[in-house]
Amino acid sequence: MSLSDLKYDVNLSIVFTELPLLERPAAAAAAGFDAVELWWPFDTNPVPDDQDVDALVKALESAGTQLVGLNFIAGDMPGGDRGWLSRPADSAGFLANIEATVALAERTGTRVLNALYGNRVPGVPAREQEDLAVDNLAIAARAAARIGATVVVEALNSYESPDYPIVSTEAALALIDRVRTEGGVDNVAFLADLYHLGRMGEDLHQVIAEHADRFGHVQIADIPGRGQPGTGELDFTGLLGALAASPYQGHVGLEYKPQGPSAASFTGLPGHS
Ligand SMILES: O=C(O)C(=O)CO
């Protein structure tokens, strides 16, 4: 695959936030995209009302956009939460959310489901949280397998998420290996967010060269401000060229904070016309 064959999708939880959620799919379509992704779109409600789900599905369908990535519930994201699945007090909510997420993914044809791990809980031994995470990821993966979906695990950066323990490719891959081995599942993969990994000082070309065969999804933003490509220091033509030449064949999620109006933020995207 060459750079011009790369498929982008727009993260509608962080791009087009000038608009109400249900108007964002049409805005992405008007900007030339047929694929979008979302963080869990129903705040801290693990099991949304049917009419809210119907309204979202209708907005995606009438815009002609495919939802290619969806996050499981992650808690109060603006308040600093970054997932529920490793947190004993939130685990039941995560388990309740699995069926709602898989049902929405089935309706929308979404095959990548992002499971944020969760911040460390003071007073709970790390090993206890790790074991809970492995169990819950395996349960999520078995549910996702029913619709042919993959659960992806993401490394964040410790500057913005200081209590989130998965902050390197190595840590994410080790967790994924545990889930696959102990949970007996094979549909768990790595979400390579080049912004977070770059913020952590990883060699992004090396990550792509060594691990692209384990990527279940890729997301991008420029460093250090998390703006669109061209607003920071990353060489996206080189990076995305390497990604296009790698075994990874999936979408590249535009998960950045637009510097300026969202509709004007796509001009520096290599291969996007
Ligand atoms: O919380 C973040 O920064 C994310 O990238 C969530 O997917």
Residue with tokens 């279940």: 216
- Relative to the CA of 71, which ligand 1 atom is closest? 7
Handedness of CA 79, 80, 86, 87 (dihedral sign): negative
- Amino acid present at 98: I
* Residue with CA nearest ligand 1 atom 1: 82
193 lines ligand 1 (CB under 6 A): yes
Residue 241 CA neighbour count, 13 Å, CB half: 6
Instruction: Place 271 in a pLDDT band, splitting at 50, 70 and 90.
Output: confident
Burial readout 32-68 (b: 16 or more C-beta within 10 A, e: otherwise): ebebbbbbbbbeeebebeeeebeebeebbeebebbbb
**Active-site annotation holder among 37, 99, 106, 154:** 154
Q: What are phi and psi of 150, to 5 degrees?
A: -115, 140
Provide the pLDDT for residue 249.
Answer: 95
255 is catalytic: yes
Q: Could you report the per-residue pLDDT of 79-123, keeping only the tens digit for each?
A: 999 999 999 999 999 999 999 999 999 999 999 999 999 999 999
ipTM for this model: 0.95
Residue with tokens 């379509």: 29
Residues in a beta bridge with 71: 114
How far, in Å, is the centroid of ligand 1 from the Cα of 156? Answer: 7
Residue with tokens 């600093």: 80
- Relative to the CA of 193, which ligand 1 atom is closest? 5
* Residue with CA nearest ligand 1 atom 2: 156
Give 29-32 contacts, CB < 8 A, sequence gap 24+: 29/63, 29/64, 29/65, 30/263, 31/262, 31/263, 31/266, 32/266, 32/272, 32/273
The share of the chain scoring above pLDDT 90, in percent, equals 97
DSSP H helical ranges for 186-266? 194-199, 204-211, 236-244
The answer as to CATH 3.20.20.150 being correct for domain 3-260 is yes
How far, in Å, is the centroid of ligand 1 from the Cα of 128? Answer: 23
- Amino acid present at 165: P
Q: Could you report the per-residue pLDDT of 8-21, keeping only the tens digit for each?
A: 999 999 999 999 99
Cβ neighbour number for residue 247 with a 10 Å cutoff: 12
- pLDDT at residue 273 above 80? no
The answer to whether the beta carbons of residues 176 and 185 sit under 8 Å apart is no
- pLDDT at residue 74 above 90? yes
The closest alpha carbon to 103, from 129, 81, 70, belongs to 70
* Residue with CA nearest ligand 1 atom 3: 156
The closest alpha carbon to 74, from 191, 239, 216, belongs to 191
DSSP, collapsed to helix, strand or coil, labels residue 150 as: strand
- Relative to the CA of 160, which ligand 1 atom is closest? 3
111 lines ligand 1 (CB under 6 A): no
Q: Could you report the per-residue pLDDT of 155-187, keeping only the tens digit for each?
A: 999 999 999 999 999 999 999 999 999 999 999
- Relative to the CA of 114, which ligand 1 atom is closest? 7
154 is catalytic: yes
226 lines ligand 1 (CB under 6 A): no
The answer to whether the beta carbons of residues 153 and 166 sit under 8 Å apart is yes
Provide the pLDDT for residue 210.
Answer: 98
Provide the pLDDT for residue 272.
Answer: 81
How far, in Å, is the centroid of ligand 1 from the Cα of 165? Answer: 13
- The crossing angle, in degrees rounded to 10, of helices 91-108 and 50-63 is 40
Full-model pTM: 0.97
Domain positions in the chain are 3-260
